[in-house]
Amino acid sequence: MWKCCFTKTYEAPEVLELDFRHSSLIEVPADVFTFERTLEKLDLGSNQISDLPPSLFHCHELKELDLCDNDLMSIPQAVGSLTRLCKLDLSRNGNSMELGKKVKTNRIAFILA
User: Residue ranges of the domains in the chain?
Assistant: 17-111
Dist. CA 32–CA 62, nearest whole Å: 11
Query: Under DSSP, is residue 41 helix (H, G, I), strand (E, B) or coil?
Result: strand
What confidence score (pLDDT) does residue 48 get?
A: 98
What confidence score (pLDDT) does residue 12 get?
A: 59
pLDDT by 10s per residue, the chain, length 113: 555 555 555 565 789 999 999 999 999 999 899 999 999 999 999 999 999 999 999 999 999 999 999 999 888 888 888 999 999 999 998 776 676 666 666 667 767 66
Q: Which letter, b or e, does each residue of 42-69 get, where b requires 16 or more Cβ atoms within 10 Å of its Cβ?
A: bbbbbbebeebeeebbebebbebbbbbb
**Cβ pair 67, 49 in contact under 8 A:** yes
Superfamily the domain 17-111 falls into: Ribonuclease Inhibitor (3.80.10.10)
Model confidence pTM above 0.95: no
**Cβ pair 25, 44 in contact under 8 A:** yes
What confidence score (pLDDT) does residue 94 get?
A: 78
What confidence score (pLDDT) does residue 95 get?
A: 74
